[in-house]
Amino acid sequence: MDGVSVDEGNTHFASPSSGLPFPFSLFDLRGRTVLVAGASRGIGATLAEGLSAAGGDVIGCGRTACEQISSQVFDYRVCDLTDGGAFQALCADIASSRKNIDAFVFSAGVTYPSQSALQNMDDFSRTISTNLLAAYSCTLSALQWMSGPASIVFITSVNSALGFPGNPGYAAAKGGLRQLAKALAVDLGDMGIRVNCLAPGYVKTAMTAESYADSTRRRQRIQRTILGRWGEPVDLVGAILFLVSDASLYVTGQDIFVDGGWTAKGL
Ligand SMILES: NC(=O)c1ccc[n+]([C@@H]2O[C@H](COP(=O)([O-])OP(=O)(O)OC[C@H]3O[C@@H](n4cnc5c(N)ncnc54)[C@H](OP(=O)(O)O)[C@@H]3O)[C@@H](O)[C@H]2O)c1
């Protein structure tokens, strides 16, 4: 398919051609370097696997080893994302062998739900530190090696838009991340860098293992969805391929809720 021409304005968003037939070429990530922060397990690991299956040269990172997925599938590095210097060095190392970073996905997250009425300041602050502050500092580092067309995706949550009990730090961080994406979309648009959010509903991972194991909470969460089940990490892969690839070249500052209809459901 020939490149789509853009008559005037920002030519970063002209679609490059690829060897695959339309429309599959839109999702082709061959030749693209994709960095996934928070890929040792769960959603981040599965997103990294999916991006790699679409042809991306994927590098994942997390504080602990990635045991869920074979090292053949994507390159993996140990890195604490709250250590700005360590992540900066990781980006520089990636750029030294791959020239630049075409997409950055921030999937790292922690949660410290409170057993008492209000979350204590320490847990609030630890949550903000990883889920929001590290997201921004890592984005600043990755941006040093990014030029348009490129894509940044933050993994947020239904908590970015809705109030939930017992975890204000998580809701504040995810809501902040949602707004950060919109603000960065404005600041980076001229450079051809798009910034969007992928907001999962309840997905079966280590983070939600406790509520999934509790039959009452498990059922309550199913009843809140339209589609009548919990999500699996693989349910998010279609949306990340869309947001990272040329399929979304005219999409920025948006949220895609992959939540089984949680945020759409009334009664
Ligand atoms: N599961 C859900 O229902 C759900 C719903 C909405 C949103 N989310 C969001 O989706 C993302 C992934 O969650 P998950 O369910 O897959 O949880 P998870 O299984 O607990 O995975 C969290 C990931 O974040 C990484 N991480 C946390 N702190 C880090 C740090 N300081 N440095 C580097 N990596 C760090 C972890 O790696 P290490 O521990 O190895 O560092 C791990 O890879 C999170 O942002 C979460 O808030 C999850």
Q: Model confidence over 224-263: pLDDT tens digits?
A: 999 999 999 999 999 999 999 999 999 999 999 999 999 9
Residue 130 lies in a domain: yes
Residue 6 lies in a domain: no
CA neighbours within 13 Å on the CB side: how many for 138?
32
| Ligand 1 neighbourhood includes 60 CB (under 6 angstroms) | no
CA of 55 to the centre of ligand 1 (A): 24
Task: Give the Å distances, CA to CA, from 199 to 59, 60, 148, 162.
Answer: 22, 20, 24, 11
Residue 194 lies in a domain: yes
Give the total number of structural domains in the chain. 1
What is the CATH classification number for the domain harbouring 99? 3.40.50.720
Q: Single out the residue of 100, 97, 42, 40 nearest to residue 235, CA to CA.
A: 42
Per-residue pLDDT, 3: 43
Query: Residue 180 is part of which domain span?
Result: 28-206+232-259
200 phi and psi angles, rounded to 5 deg? -80, 155
Handedness of CA 15, 20, 24, 28 (dihedral sign): negative
Residue 265 lies in a domain: no
Q: Give pTM, 2 decimals.
A: 0.95
Q: Alpha-carbon distance 4 to 7, whole Å?
A: 10
| Ligand 1 neighbourhood includes 133 CB (under 6 angstroms) | no
252 phi and psi angles, rounded to 5 deg? -150, 150
Per-residue pLDDT, 259: 98
Beta bridge pairs of residue 62: 78
pLDDT tens digits for range 58-70: 999 999 999 888 8
Contact (Cβ atoms closer than 8 angstroms) between residue 70 and residue 50: no
pLDDT tens digits for range 147-171: 999 999 999 999 999 999 999 999 9
Residue owning the nearest CA to atom 46 of ligand 1: 109
Residue 12 lies in a domain: no
Residue 169 lies in a domain: yes
What is the CA angle 158-134-105, rounded to 5?
A: 60
- Residue 190's Cα: distance from chain center in Å? 22
Contact (Cβ atoms closer than 8 angstroms) between residue 10 and residue 71: no
Instruction: For tokens 């348009």, name the residue.
Output: 148
The residue to mutate among 35, 36, 41, having the most atoms of ligand 1 within 8 angstroms of its beta carbon, is 41
pLDDT tens digits for range 113-155: 998 879 999 999 999 999 999 999 999 999 999 999 999 999 9
170 a catalytic residue: yes
Q: Where are the beta strands (DSSP E) in 42-82?
A: 57-62, 75-78
Residue 126 lies in a domain: yes
Residue 134 lies in a domain: yes
